[in-house]
Amino acid sequence: MSFMKFSKTTEYAFRILSFMAQDETKLYNVDEIFEKLRVPYRYLRKLMTNLTRSGFIVSIQGKNGGYKISRKTEEIRLLEILQAVDPEYLSGKCFFGFDNCALQVPCIMHDQWTIVRTNINNILAGTSLADVKQTKND
Amino acid sequence: MSFMKFSKTTEYAFRILSFMAQDETKLYNVDEIFEKLRVPYRYLRKLMTNLTRSGFIVSIQGKNGGYKISRKTEEIRLLEILQAVDPEYLSGKCFFGFDNCALQVPCIMHDQWTIVRTNINNILAGTSLADVKQTKND
DNA sequence: CATAAATGACACCTTGAGGTATTATATAAT
DNA sequence: ATTATATAATACCTCAAGGTGTCATTTATG
Ligand code: SF4
Ligand code: SF4
């Protein structure tokens, strides 16, 4: 594992949704998304279904079907995506990974780390798909 | 995986070394460390050997043997430990996980994320084992 | 209706992190 | 020398994330 790196699945979700945010009315199909983003084809198929279940996109089945963003891109925040894709996010509180801390006085990392996490949360909560819609990388 | 959480191994390394930093002259044996920290016994054994190879501690074999911190605790920074235990750290640069970015102008996350990472790096580089030696959690 | 083109469902494979089991080696104490 | 007690080495097990393969279902269109 590598610290400060999102899971592949999270990165993929960010890529997919920020790409689809470029035109929030358009119906994208998987092949089109696959062309643009570097996501393994069948895994992408699976993720699209998951993102549909999560409610970020809606799917139209059958011929000429595809996916489109389900809500206004300004309303979908990166934090919401992260939480949906990685439910364990924010589960760990202690820098040292202790389940329950028995220190009388918090260690030197406690507050510093809380601040860092809050900072990151604010960034992710403050950034919407509309803000990153240009991330196509073609 | 869960974002913003160190790997178990990294957490363990932090715990072990910050515990041993309480007395940098003392020879700790595995059983003693196992008593205090919540690290699976045999995995702890393995980690101790790895930390020895990494040079953070020295081992004395044989009866009455054990481990002790190899350098001044003020000189061992958390960043150094993290890098030794998690070599992939800092490998990923792009927020979206792209191997090579083709954007003409960097996306909105680029600078923000660079700042966050720099911030974290500064904290980890600015904190030594001496600063966290009280983290015993018994 | 038949077909083609799209998504959905489900089972399986692979890989690395974390963890376990066993045996080998070193050394202080008697 | 023998024994007890410590670490070292090595091989194996487990589980979830990431990834693949195959077939089923939906629906526009001729
Ligand atoms: S005080 Fe330190 S050891 Fe205790 S929970 Fe906070 S970070 Fe963890
Ligand atoms: S500009 Fe955005 S997409 Fe490009 S490397 Fe930086 S973070 Fe990644």
| Rounded (10°) CA dihedral A17, A18, A19, A21 | 80
Rounded Cα–Cα distance for residues A85 and A2 (Å): 18
Give B27-84 pLDDT, tens digit per residue. Answer: 999 999 999 998 999 999 999 999 999 999 999 999 999 999 999 999 999 999 999 9
**CA B1 / ligand 2 centre spacing (Å):** 22
Q: Is the pLDDT of residue B10 over 90?
A: yes
B138/A102 touch (CB, cutoff 8 Å), yes or no: yes
Residue B63 distance to chain A (closest CA, Å) = 31
A76-85, B32-41, B84-93, B102-111: least confidently modelled range? B84-93
Of A3, A113, A134, the CB nearest to B10: A3
**Single-letter amino acid code for the residue at A74:** E
Tokens coding B16: 């072990």
Residue A138 predicted with pLDDT over 60 = no
Chain A contact for B64 (CB, 8 A cutoff): no
Highest mean pLDDT: which range of A43-47, B4-8, B94-98: A43-47
B103 neighbors A135 (Cβ within 8 angstroms): yes
pTM for the structure as a whole: 0.94
DSSP for A107-121, written as a single string: -HHHHHHHHHHHHHH
The β-bridge relationship of strands A57-60 and A66-69 is antiparallel
What is the arithmetic mean of pLDDT over B10-33?
Answer: 97
Tens of pLDDT, residue by residue over B112-136, are: 999 999 999 999 999 999 999 966 6
pLDDT at B12: 97
The predicted structure's pLDDT at residue B90 = 78
pLDDT at B15 over 90: yes
pLDDT at A93: 81
Looking at residue A18, what is its pLDDT?
Answer: 97
Q: Is the pLDDT of residue A135 over 90?
A: no
CA of A50 to C1' of C13 (A): 21
Closest nucleotide to A32: CA versus each C1': C6
Identify the residue among A135, A136, A138 best suited for mutation to test binding to B, counting B beta carbons within 10 A and taking the highest: A135
Check B109 against A132: CB less than 8 A apart.
yes
pLDDT at A87: 86
The residue ranges of every structural domain in chain A are 8-132
CA of B8: which chain A residue's CA is closest?
Answer: A97
**Residue that wins the pLDDT comparison between B137 and B99:** B99
Backbone angles phi, psi at A28, to 5 degrees: -95, 140
pLDDT in tens, A48-78: 999 999 999 999 999 999 999 999 999 999 9
Continuous H helices in chain B:
8-20, 30-36, 41-54, 78-85, 108-126
Q: Tens digits of per-residue pLDDT, A110-133?
A: 999 999 999 999 999 999 999 999
Q: What is the pLDDT of residue A136?
A: 62
Distance from CA of A57 to the nearest CA of B (A): 19
- Name the CATH architecture for the domain at A8-132: Orthogonal Bundle (1.10)
* DSSP secondary structure code for residue B129 in this structure: G
